[in-house]
Amino acid sequence: MRLGPSVAALACLALPACAGPVYVNPCYGAGLLLPTEATGPEIVAAADACIADGGERKQGLVIRAAGHLRDADTAAAIADTDAAIGIDPAYADAYYYRGLAHEEVGAIDAARRDFDRAVELGLAPVFALRARGRTRFLEDDFAGAYDDFDALIAAAPEDQEAYRLRGAAAHVLERWAEAEADFDKAIALKDDDLKAYSGRAYVKFFTGRFVEAAADFKIALKDKPEGLKAAFLYLAMRRAGDDEAAAELARQAETLDWTRNPGVFAALFLGHVGIEEMVDISKRTGIHKPRENECEGYYYAGMAELLAGNRAAAEAWFRRVLATGVVRFDEVRGARMELRAMGIAVPSPDPRARPGT
């Protein structure tokens, strides 16, 4: 869900005198225009020249930081934005770009604090709220992220990505109708947004519309093999009673590594690996944090048991999913869905929901 700094930093540079989609002005006091496709070193050199020619130093430092971000030199970007803030502690642009640099290196709490300050100082919502919403989402503050994306849409009602982002936050909160409406809007504004189709597919899966979910998963997987979505496509087709589920999974998983997470989940459902071995592989080879890798393995183990008619075993696996404490993953929502279907009370992650729902 995040817009990487290397993209965000040169989209329009978030500066008041931005000259539009073709050119940006890296030091507008000096009157120099630079093509948006310029490389990081070119931007740094132009900013240096602007400063040398009498441009305002704090502006030049921030634009130089944007150049460093494009060149993936986050340490230099932080140094330049620190210097700009030293010149003007109320310079919103400097906090924004420092936040992007912090986000790039995974210092999410520091990034969120910078974006908080940028919002307080009045940076344009299209930049500030999008950035802060991203970091809130990454910090598992999904209600806060939803509120930021909601405010972003109020400020920019035709911002396609904003609807997808708000939909993602609503999805984690299990605000199903709101999430689906946002993904619908995102698709209406950009009909090739595969992430929006993916989000809508999960919403439809978790609300029991398996035929519709499978159709959206197939679009989301177009020309991009992906183990987790392929597994959910298979589950949607199985739940819909589609006899082609295994054949479709085999086709989707043809280029995946079945000996590693996430390809191993396809191997499980195609009968090439057992449940316990799958869980072990998921834990050892997953790309996420240990508890998140466990969460994934436990969910697909539960689904395999459920499809085999072993309700008690499935329930035990689903309870282990929730015990990991992971919140963001779709496998968690899947485990909640199955436990509720078994008549087991599972609380909603939405803080505005009634207790016990």
Q: What is the pLDDT of residue 38?
A: 78
> Are 24 and 88 found together in one domain?
yes
Tell me how far apart the alpha carbons of residues 91 and 85 are, in angstroms, rounded to a whole number. Answer: 6
Residue 249 has pLDDT above 70, yes or no: yes
pTM: 0.85
- The CATH number of whichever domain residue 109 belongs to comes to 1.25.40.10
> Are 126 and 88 found together in one domain?
yes
Residue 8 has pLDDT above 70, yes or no: no
> Are 238 and 300 found together in one domain?
no
197 CB contacts (<8 Å, ≥6 apart)?
Answer: 183, 187, 216, 217, 219, 220
> Are 6 and 134 found together in one domain?
yes
Domain boundary (256, 284, 308) is at: 256
Tell me how far apart the alpha carbons of residues 50 and 32 are, in angstroms, rounded to a whole number. Answer: 7
The count of structural domains within the chain is 4
Domain boundary (139, 170, 203) is at: 139
> Are 268 and 248 found together in one domain?
no
Q: What is the DSSP string of 105-153?
A: TT-HHHHHHHHHHHHHTT--HHHHHHHHHHHHHHTT-HHHHHHHHHHHH
Q: Span 319-335, mean pLDDT?
A: 97
Count of positions (residues) in the chain: 357
- Where would I find the H helices in 139-269? 142-155, 160-172, 176-189, 194-206, 210-220, 227-239, 245-252, 263-269
Asked if the structure places residue 160 within a domain, the reply is: yes
Q: Give the SS3 label for residue 76.
A: helix
Q: Span 61-87, mean pLDDT?
A: 94
Q: What is the DSSP letter of 311?
A: H
Residue 9 has pLDDT above 60, yes or no: no
Cα 184 to Cα 32, 51, 173: the distances in Å are: 42, 46, 18
**Domain housing 339:** 260-349
> Are 129 and 41 found together in one domain?
yes
Specify whether the CB–CB gap between 214 and 236 falls below 8 A: yes
Which of residues 166 and 17 earns the better pLDDT score?
Answer: 166
> Are 265 and 319 found together in one domain?
yes
Tell me how far apart the alpha carbons of residues 68 and 83 are, in angstroms, rounded to a whole number. Answer: 14
The structure tokens 């709101």 sit at 178
Residue 79 has pLDDT above 90, yes or no: yes
Percent of the chain exceeding pLDDT 70 equals 89
Q: Span 77-102, mean pLDDT?
A: 95
Q: Span 16-27, mean pLDDT?
A: 36
Asked if the structure places residue 271 within a domain, the reply is: yes
